[in-house]
């Protein structure tokens, strides 16, 4: 039986009736996603055909599958859903009608339909020719020997037929990221830079972008009580400005506290979905500090749950672009101002750490990584396509680009270092957004050769130059040399101009 275009109340009631989860004390709908509590990169495919053959950067991230295998599996999943109660919504991805897609989402579970109802844009205003279909059947298991998959789970994008197929996984983030990948492929042809970033706006319309992997601070730092949120994860930057791809937010919940992240705390209420958050068995209060299911606990809620938001879901050009990096070495400064070429270098590098990774198979809770464009799993085209668009937009708008370390200082992870406290990082971000960093007296940091401020209001000066925060200066030099070598080794895979190559660190 098909249930089409249900409201939030109807979807919550259906999910309760079907015993797909339970209401928490805060009235959010709490679900468990079973063995898959994050994305499964090894199970993601793109159909290889004339549209994608020469346009996709094929490899371990963008894996190919044949049209025949896709068609076979699509028919099987469609037939499977037809024999069961299922749910359907017609939604939009992209808040700028000129660059959006419309997607009909069909899900096996009511709660997964509510997830997309929260995360995508509910009101379809676009007349785009890009009409997509998305099927999600968590309880349908693919057969690798027959279907050409690697396991019982699969996420497959078909750009020619405009279809996305998700099966064998209950983790709803696969649907969100699949549609993100769709726009990441389509928009460069429209001269639009797709970005894995959060965005907010000051009361005067000054826009800030926050690039970074999950756990490095995108959602936390963009949810600022003093600023208006545009979105927390996925945006496009056109010649006219910035626009959100989504209609909601997908926030990490681990260690969530009302005093430190009040915007997110208050947004998680009736109509929201909580994935893998442990509930107290008696009070049903969320135990946000409990990671017994996973570090990657999540909440999906609509933008309407955030009072301080940009109603139009889009804004003008950014004045500040922040690359959030969680440095485990404790070597990078809390803030550095980058040149245009340095911006391209660190954008392509995407250096950070996997913090409570969103990916299956990550057994270590935190580890160093280089994720191109701060979101390598979601960008189908060669990295240079996105880097060139970033440089074009920054040059056109004179936006200032900053590297912001939300990781360790005073020493390395698992050594003598400590992670920057959220209030310190918030103060750094405020200094960026109000132009204090840009106008501050600066010096060149040896090795990395970018500019760091000598002093900022309300911030201990010794934190601004990382070597000063280490008690063992020799240990700092060893750590810095090791990190620089990692940067240099990683960057050998890129074919870029000599100016961008020279913008990297030197030992």
DSSP letter (8 states) at residue 274: E
Mean pLDDT of the chain: 95
Q: What is the pLDDT of residues 180-193, one digit of tens each?
A: 999 999 999 999 99
Average pLDDT of span 277-299: 97
Is the per-residue pLDDT at 358 higher than 80? no
User: Is the pLDDT score of 207 beyond 90?
Assistant: yes
Give the H/E segment covering residue 10: helix 8-17
pTM here? 0.94
Express each pLDDT in 19-68 by its tens digit. 999 999 999 999 999 999 999 999 999 999 999 999 999 999 999 999 99
What percentage of residues in the chain have a pLDDT greater than 90? 90
What's the rounded Cα separation, in Å, for the pair 164 and 158? 6
Q: Answer yes or no: is pLDDT of 483 > 70.
A: yes
- Which pLDDT belongs to residue 507? 85
Helices 383-397 + 340-349 axis angle, to 10: 150
351's enclosing H/E stretch is strand 351-355
Q: Choosing from 162, 235, 298, 309, which is the catalytic residue? A: 298
Calpha distance 431→460 (Å, rounded) = 13
The 10 Å Cβ neighbour count of residue 359 is 15
200 forms bridges with which residues in the sheet? 208, 229
**214 catalytic residue (yes or no):** yes
SS3 43: helix
Q: Is position 177 annotated as part of the catalytic site?
A: yes
Residue 179 and residue 157: Cα distance in Å, rounded? Answer: 9
SS3 (DSSP) at 129:
coil
- CB of 43 closer than 8 Å to CB of 169: yes
196 is annotated as an active-site residue: yes
pLDDT band for position 371 (50/70/90)?
very high
Catalytic choice (147, 206, 233, 327): 233
Question: Region 253-265: what's the mean pLDDT?
Answer: 93
User: Is 218 an active-site residue?
Assistant: yes
Question: What CA–CA distances, in Å, run from 287 to 33, 273, 284, 297?
Answer: 17, 15, 9, 10
Average pLDDT over residues 192-213: 95
Residues 5-20 have pLDDT tens digits of: 999 999 999 999 999 9
The catalytic position among 216, 219, 352, 431 is 219
pLDDT score of 220: 87
Query: Quick one: average pLDDT of 348-377?
Result: 77
Selected catalytic residue, list 176, 218, 393, 419: 218
pLDDT value at 494 more than 80? yes
Q: Is 39 annotated as catalytic? A: yes
Q: Which of 36, 76, 162, 177 is catalytic?
A: 177
Structural domains in the chain plus CATH codes:
2-20+34-190 (3.40.449.10), 193-247+312-502 (3.90.228.20), 249-305 (2.170.8.10)
Q: Among 136, 214, 369, 406, which one carries the catalytic annotation? A: 214
Looking from the CA of 198 toward its CB, the CA atoms found within 13 Å total 28
Beta pairing partners, 166? 136, 155
List, in sequence order, every residue forming a beta bridge with 300; answer none if it has no partner.
Answer: 250, 273
Cα–Cα distance, 177 to 180 (Å, whole number): 5
Tell which residue, 96, 163, 91, has the closest CA to residue 120: 91
pLDDT tens digit string along 243-258? 999 999 999 999 999 9
Q: Which of 76, 170, 196, 227 is catalytic?
A: 196
Q: Beginning with the edge strand found earlier in the chain, give each strand of the sheet holding 131-137 in spatial order.
A: 2-4, 86-93, 101-107, 131-137, 163-167, 154-158, 44-47, 63-65
Burial class of residue 364 in the structure, from the number of CB atoms within 10 Å of its CB (0-12 exposed, 13-18 middle, 19+ buried): exposed
Shortest CA distance to 90 belongs to which of 149, 132, 60, 153?
132
Per-residue 3-state assignment (H helix, E strand, C coil) for 407-451: CEECCCCCCCCEECCHHHHHHHHHHHHCCHHHHCCEEECCCCCCE
Indicate if the pLDDT at residue 359 is higher than 60.
Answer: no
Mean pLDDT of 167-178: 98
Confidence of residue 216 (pLDDT cuts 50, 70, 90): confident
What mean pLDDT comes out for the span 202-230? 91
Point out the catalytic residue in the list 36, 39, 76, 86: 39
d(CA 109, CA 6): 13
Of the pLDDT bands very low, low, confident and very high (cuts 50, 70, 90), residue 127 is confident
- pLDDT at residue 363 in the model: 43
Averaged pLDDT, 261-269? 95
CB 356 within 8 A of CB 295: yes
For the cut 50, the answer to whether the pLDDT of residue 362 exceeds it is no
């Amino acid at each position: 039986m098909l249930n089409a275009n249900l409201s939030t109340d109807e979807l919550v009631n259906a999910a309760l009736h079907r015993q797909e989860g339970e209401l928490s004390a805060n009235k959010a709908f709490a679900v468990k996603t079973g063995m898959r509590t994050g994305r499964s990169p090894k199970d993601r495919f793109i159909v290889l055909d004339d549209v994608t053959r020469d346009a996709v950067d094929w490899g371990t991230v963008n894996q190919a599958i044949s049209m025949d295998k896709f068609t076979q599996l699509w028919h099987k999943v469609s037939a499977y859903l037809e024999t069961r109660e299922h749910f359907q919504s017609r939604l939009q991805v992209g808040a700028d009608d000129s660059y959006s897609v419309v997607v009909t989402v069909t899900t096996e579970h009511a709660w997964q339909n509510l997830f997309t109802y929260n995360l995508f844009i509910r009101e379809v205003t676009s007349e785009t020719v890009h009409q997509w279909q998305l099927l999600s059947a968590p309880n349908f298991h693919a057969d690798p020997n027959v279907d050409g998959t690697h396991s019982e789970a699969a996420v497959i994008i078909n750009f020619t037929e405009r279809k996305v197929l998700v099966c064998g996984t209950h983790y709803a983030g696969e649907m969100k990221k699949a549609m993100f990948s769709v726009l990441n492929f389509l928009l460069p042809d429209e001269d639009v830079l797709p970005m894995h970033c959060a965005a907010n706006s000051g009361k005067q319309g000054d826009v800030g972008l926050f690039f970074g992997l999950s756990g490095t601070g995108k959602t936390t730092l963009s949810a600022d009580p003093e600023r208006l949120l545009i979105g927390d994860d996925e945006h496009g930057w056109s010649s006219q400005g910035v626009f959100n791809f989504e209609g909601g937010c997908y926030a990490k919940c681990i260690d969530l506290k009302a005093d430190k992240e009040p915007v997110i705390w208050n947004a998680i209420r009736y109509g929201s979905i909580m994935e893998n958050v442990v509930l107290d068995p008696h009070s049903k209060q969320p135990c946000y500090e409990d990671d017994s299911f996973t570090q990657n606990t999540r909440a999906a809620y609509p933008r309407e749950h955030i009072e301080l938001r940009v109603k139009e879901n889009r804004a003008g050009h950014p004045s500040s672009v922040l690359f959030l990096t969680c440095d485990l070495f404790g070597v990078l400064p809390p803030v550095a101002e980058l040149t245009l070429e340095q911006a391209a270098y660190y954008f392509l590098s995407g250096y950070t750490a996997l913090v409570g990774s969103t990916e299956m198979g990550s057994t270590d809770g935190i580890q160093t990584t280089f994720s191109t464009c701060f979101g390598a799993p979601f960008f189908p085209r060669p990295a240079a396509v996105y880097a060139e668009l970033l440089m074009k937009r920054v040059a056109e708008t004179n936006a200032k680009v900053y590297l912001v370390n939300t990781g360790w200082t005073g020493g390395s992870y698992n050594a003598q270092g400590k992670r920057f406290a959220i209030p310190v990082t918030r103060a750094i971000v405020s200094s960026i957004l109000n132009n204090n960093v840009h106008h501050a007296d600066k010096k060149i940091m040896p090795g990395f050769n970018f500019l760091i401020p000598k002093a900022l209001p309300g911030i201990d000066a010794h934190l601004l130059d990382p070597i000063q925060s280490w008690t063992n200066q020799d240990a700092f030099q060893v750590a810095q040399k090791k990190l620089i070598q990692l940067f240099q080794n990683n960057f050998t895979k890129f074919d870029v101009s000599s100016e961008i190559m020279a913008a990297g660190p030197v030992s």
